[in-house]
Structures are given as C-alpha cells and as structure tokens.
Amino acid sequence: MGFNCARIEPLAEAYGEAEPLYGVETDHLETLPAALGDGEYGWRDVVWVVRWHYRRYLGAYPDADRRDAEAAFERNDFEDVRAAIGDAVDAETPRNALESLRSLRGVDVPVASAILFFLDPGAYIVVGEREWTALETTGELSVSYPDPPTANDYERYLGACETVADRCECDLQTLYRALWRHSKGD
C-alpha cells in the first residue's frame, strides 16, 4: 500500500490554502531554526512554538487541557529552556534531543517534536495522533497511535516519515503538511 507520493504536493498545497496558521508557521520555519540553533531567541519564540503545537487544532484540542499544558511550560525558567534547547542542538540522536526537551515542565514527546521541528525542519517532524494515523491508514505504520507516545515511538514514526520522504522525494515540512491534510480527509 504506502502513502501515495502523487498526493503529497496537492495535500501540502491544500494545507497552505486552508490552515489559518500557515503564514505565521512559514515565517517561523524561516527564522527559528537559525535563531534556536545559534541561541539567538527569546522566551516568546519558544512559547510561540508550544502554543502553535496546541492551537493548530483550532479548538479540537480541549481548551482547558491546552491552557494547562501551555501554563505548565510557561512555569519553566528561561535558562532551563535555553539549556534544554542547547542540549537538543548538540544531541547526537533524536532520542537524546527529545529527552533534553522532555526535562522541561509541560513538554511531552509531541511538544518536544514541535520544538525540534522548528529547530531543524529538515531532520525532525511533528508527531501527533493526526499525523501518525495518516501514516497508519496508508500502511506506513503498523500500530495505532500510542497515547502518549514515547521516545521509541517517535523514533519509529520519524523513521517511517523519512522513508516516505525519501521515496516520494519531498522534505519533512512538506510531508508534515500532507499528513495533516490527509488526516482531515482531503
């Protein structure tokens, strides 16, 4: 079976046309990788990523849960956030990068994957139930979304995404957008 490569570009284009956060997401994907990699970012930059992770669901994510998760992250000391991101930048494996970020309050594997996506969108992709399920329904993953996902699960997911991206000759950003739209039934 497998993800239909011919569908990736149209789905990614539909993402750009339909998703309200697309413009600001694109702006941040152009600026944050260098800023996060060089340590030239502020508190609001990282808070924005955490908020983006939850708010991209446009109300489908329970509001009280979203507020609690965002508030938990915002209780971190900025120096701890800087240290965790610095460790993620220097990590030799995705697992180590995830674990560096998971040391922070309010950061589970999906939130860590969002931070990693904005740190290096060429190497990481966001994980969530929608994206995972899109890969599962096309036969790229053989197990249902683990709730919550572990670092092992993320490595399995990232490997499947890299396989699809290589086979379909697209980057992980484009694949993320296609998976998101596929999950919406496009």
- Dump pLDDT digits (tens) for 88-147: 999 999 999 999 999 999 999 999 999 999 999 999 999 999 999 999 999 999 999 998
Phi, psi angle pair for 94, to nearest 5°? -55, -40
Give the span between the Cα atoms of 108 and 134, in whole angstroms.
Answer: 21
Whether the Cβ atoms of residue 67 and residue 136 lie closer than 8 Å to each other:
no
Q: Which two tokens stand for residue 105?
A: 């309050």
Whether the Cβ atoms of residue 125 and residue 117 lie closer than 8 Å to each other:
yes
Q: 39-46: which pairs have CB atoms within 8 A and are 24 or more residues apart? A: 39/82, 39/85, 39/86, 43/78, 43/81, 46/81, 46/85, 46/115
Give the model confidence (pLDDT) of 95-105 as tens digits.
999 999 999 99
pTM value?
0.96
Give the model confidence (pLDDT) of 149-175 as tens digits.
999 999 999 999 999 999 999 999 999
Q: Tell me what pLDDT residue 1 has.
A: 66
Residue 186 reports pLDDT greater than 90: no
Give the total number of structural domains in the chain. 1
Q: Which two tokens stand for residue 147?
A: 């709730």
Query: Domain limits at 163?
Result: 5-183
Closest Cα to residue 122, out of 41, 5, 32? 32
Q: Is the dihedral of CA 88, 90, 94, 99 positive or negative?
A: negative
Non-local (6+) Cβ contacts of 139 within 8 A are 1, 2
Give the model confidence (pLDDT) of 22-37 as tens digits.
999 999 999 999 999 9
